[in-house]
Amino acid sequence: MPRLDLQGDARARKRIGKAFEALVALQARLRAPNGCPWDREQTHDSLRTYLLEETYEVLDALDTGDALKFADELGDLLLQIVFHAQLAAEAGKFDIADVIGRIHTKMVRRHPHVFGRVRAETSAQVLKNWEQLKAQERAKSRDSEARAGVASILDAVPRSLPALLEGHQLTRRAANVGFDWADVNGIFDKLAEETAELKQLLVSGDGRPGEVEEEIGDLLFVGVNLARFLRLDAEIALKRANRKFSRRFREMERRAAARGQALNSLSAEEVDALWNEVKGARSELAAGTRRAVSGERP
């Protein structure tokens, strides 16, 4: 697939413009009186689930490394944006041109180091400037009577986000204005501290369910902070860990069935042995794959 130079290739820009206009027209056609009954029934609220699902499917496709699948899923996500804009246009609120215009204006405004005279030599400086600009925007837009008090850089983090993603966004925004750990060792110390507090609460037997839940939440929050500090996304990391566990557990089931056994009939020791057997096989397979790719001898 050729790489597009949008600054210098007028034909590429024209092709992209036509493709986007065709997609917008297609969605309008589906919503027309003689269009699709399902599309005509949808509302902003009914599409919420699909918007979330498509976002996760994009991330899943990204993990596969399949460029065509990734492009396909990005198209599904783009359709959701076009769909919501069409609904808003029908209600006389805004249309897709407003959506594009607002993000274009916002991106220019938030990149003064590119389109203005502000200097930013590192990504950290860019992010710090970004958060300061966003804070200024929120301060200008909020209604002082309805929302008394000081504007926070955390105001833009939606409460509807999945908990791990919300934790990542909260700590990322705080870090962008300097509220962060000096190094990773401090986070490991905090992780040990929160683990010890939870253990003590469980050993004492005095902790109410709410207190135990709070301590577990603190422990998870530190884990999210650790992932963010290491430039990883805890949500994605946990997704991958979930998949790894699922693969290994399914392999346990398969091996047990091949031996005429059921997992629930095995002793704890036998289950542990089978788990270690599967892990060992996976590790050996991964090592063999690395040797094959690098040309090493076994």
Highest-confidence range of 105-114, 180-189, 284-293, by mean pLDDT?
180-189
Say if residue 283's pLDDT is above 70: no
Chain Cα centroid distance, residue 163: 11
pLDDT in tens, 34-52: 999 999 999 999 998 898 8
Find all residues with CB under 8 Å of 181, minimum gap 6, and list them: 187, 225, 229
pLDDT at site 156: 78
Cβ atoms within 10 A of the Cβ of 69, count?
A: 15
Straight-line distance from the first to the last Cα atom of the chain, in angstroms, rounded to the nearest whole number = 37
So what's the architecture of 157-232 in CATH?
Orthogonal Bundle (1.10)
Q: Averaged over 232-244, what is the pLDDT?
A: 89
Burial of 157 (0-12, 13-18, 19+ CB in 10 A): middle
Q: Averaged over 133-137, what is the pLDDT?
A: 75
Q: Compute the mean pLDDT over every residue in the chain, rounded to the nearest whole number.
A: 86
Fold of domain 13-109: Helix Hairpins (1.10.287)
> What are the boundaries of each domain within the chain?
13-109, 157-232, 235-294
pLDDT in tens, 49-107: 898 889 889 988 998 899 999 999 999 999 999 999 999 999 999 999 999 999 999 99
Say if residue 290's pLDDT is above 60: no
**Residue the block writes with tokens 């594009």:** 100
For the chain, what is the radius of gyration of the CA atoms? 25
